[in-house]
Amino acid sequence: MALTALIAAYHESAESGALRATLPLAGRTALERQARLAAAAGAARIVVLVERMPPALTAALDRLRRDRVPLHVARSAEEAAEAVDPNDRLLLIADGAIAETSQLERLARAEGPVVLTVPDAAFGELYERIDAASRWAGLAAVDGSVLRDTASMLHDWDLQSTLLRRALQAGARHLAADGPVAILDSRADLAALERQILASAAEARGGWASRLFAPLERIVTHALMTGPVGPRAIGTAAAMLTALGALAFFYGWFWTGLAKLLVATPLDGIAARLARLRMQDDIGRSWWSLLLPAMSAAALVSLAYALAPTHGWGMLLLGLTTLAFLIASWIEAEGRALKGSLFLADRKGMVWLMVPFALFDAWQAGLAALFAYAAGSFFWAQHQAHAAMPDRQD
């Protein structure tokens, strides 16, 4: 059974007639986060029910389409019903309702009609009352046929409220929310939720160099979150700078090459943070994320090649062996939580490790240090990986 999401985007917020769907949330709009949450929960199609199209809503829909979110805009309940197959599982998301992906997945997997609830005592009138003890959290799941039946008899009633009432009359189960939920109606409702989203996106990942640059990455991400620049542009800049650094090394322009690599080191972290903030976590499949390690490897080999005429062709062998140890270390560490992994050799750490050697024009000694770092990381990762494996019984 396919999962389709229906998002209501026509109620005005408590602020100056703006739509709830266009309230700003972590650099984008509430609607964009709702649509991405639905897609992450497995929705193959997302139907957005609108009545008017102010510029902010049009821009939000355009951004979603550019990111290939499976979107369909309906201007009436009848259009929405036509866009939903009666055999689909329909995930109803109320105007301004936000919850974690795990809660949407619970609704999608549940059997029969089900509504997400919150305690009556802890939530206000914005959350529709279901009974004496519960209110609606803004999320429900029903069969697609219910939408068609409701649209045919809707008249002047509100669609999302009518769908809720029909689901309850059909015996929908109450499913208590097991995480934070919110129905956004003003900027005051956004503050706590936005802090939570920003904290999640700001989580530091990677090795010691990534942790060192985490404050800078957070500041830049916060500055870029409301702008048009996306993770793809930042990641592309990182790959291009690394490629230019490799080219500079090849021609013997050592400081030029190192400077470009140093500038590139925080960029992929910024791209990853911005992607998490905008729920674009598929950057691992983007071309720049695949090109960046290759360009970094090219920079290492180019440096070794440029040093070879002066210091012997053993430099090139040293560079290639360093690269082999790095690849082997990555294979050993892949998918494992290894003790001391924070200090294992990685692209960013190796770039910054070259700085003190460059200051004393000891590039060949720096390359030897990179070899020792990569080799040590491999042997440590191998030891930790095999120590963690249970002994086989004969």
Q: What is the pLDDT of residue 392?
A: 46
Instruction: Give the integer Cα–Cα distance in Å for 266 and 174.
Output: 46
Q: What is the number of structural domains in the chain?
A: 2
pLDDT > 80? residue 191: no
Average pLDDT rounded to a whole number, residues 210-232: 86
CA dist list (Å): 308 to 216, 369, 370: 36, 16, 16
Instruction: Give the integer Cα–Cα distance in Å for 193 and 24.
Output: 11
Q: Are residues 185 and 232 in the same domain?
A: no
pLDDT single digits (tens) 318-366: 999 999 999 998 888 776 777 888 888 999 999 999 999 999 999 999 9
**Sign of the dihedral through C-alpha 114, 118, 119, 121:** negative
Q: What is the pLDDT of residue 324?
A: 95
Q: Which helix (H) or strand (E) holds 5?
A: strand 3-8
Q: Are residues 182 and 231 in the same domain?
A: no
Q: What is the pLDDT of residue 201?
A: 63
CB neighbours (10 Å) of residue 211?
A: 14
Q: Which neighbouring-strand residues pair with 140?
A: 92, 115
In eight-state DSSP terms, residue 225 is: T
Question: Looking at 134, 166, 189, which one is the last position of a domain?
Answer: 189
237 within a domain of the structure (yes/no): yes
Q: Are residues 38 and 133 in the same domain?
A: yes
246 within a domain of the structure (yes/no): yes
Instruction: Give the integer Cα–Cα distance in Å for 286 and 293.
Output: 13
Question: Looking at 189, 211, 228, which one is the last position of a domain?
Answer: 189
Nearest to 381 by CA among 347, 331, 346, 309: 331
Q: The domain containing residue 96 runs over which residues? A: 3-189
Nearest to 20 by CA among 140, 223, 182: 182
CA dist list (Å): 31 to 8, 36, 154, 345: 9, 9, 24, 41
311 within a domain of the structure (yes/no): yes
365: CATH: 1.20.120.1760
Range picked from 10-19, 54-63, 117-126, 273-282 for highest mean pLDDT = 54-63
301 within a domain of the structure (yes/no): yes
Q: Which neighbouring-strand residues pair with 136?
A: 117
Contact 29, 21 (CB under 8 A): yes
Q: Are residues 171 and 252 in the same domain?
A: no
Nearest to 3 by CA among 49, 39, 48: 39
- Which of 15-19, 241-245, 363-367 is predicted with the least confidence, judged by mean pLDDT? 15-19
Q: What is the pLDDT of residue 212?
A: 87
Contact 302, 319 (CB under 8 A): no
Average pLDDT rounded to a whole number, residues 269-292: 79
Q: Are residues 80 and 114 in the same domain?
A: yes
105 within a domain of the structure (yes/no): yes
Q: Are residues 257 and 161 in the same domain?
A: no
pLDDT single digits (tens) 116-144: 999 988 788 889 999 889 999 999 999 99
Instruction: Give the integer Cα–Cα distance in Å for 221 and 298.
Output: 28
Question: Looking at 163, 189, 215, which one is the last position of a domain?
Answer: 189
Single-letter amino acid code for the residue at 239? A
Q: Are residues 151 and 295 in the same domain?
A: no
Instruction: Give the integer Cα–Cα distance in Å for 12 and 377.
Output: 57
Q: Are residues 110 and 151 in the same domain?
A: yes
Q: Are residues 327 and 238 in the same domain?
A: yes
pLDDT > 50? residue 61: yes
Contact 164, 170 (CB under 8 A): no
20: CATH: 3.90.550.10
393 within a domain of the structure (yes/no): no
197 within a domain of the structure (yes/no): no
Q: Are residues 126 and 235 in the same domain?
A: no
Q: Which residue has the tokens 């689901």?
A: 167
Q: Are residues 169 and 251 in the same domain?
A: no
Q: Which helix (H) or strand (E) holds 102?
A: helix 101-109
Q: How confident is the model at residue 373 (pLDDT cuts 50, 70, 90)?
A: very high
pLDDT > 70? residue 282: no
Q: What are phi and psi of 206, to 5 degrees?
A: 100, -165
Q: Are residues 231 and 306 in the same domain?
A: yes
Instruction: Give the integer Cα–Cα distance in Å for 374 and 332.
Output: 13
Q: What is the pLDDT of residue 205?
A: 73
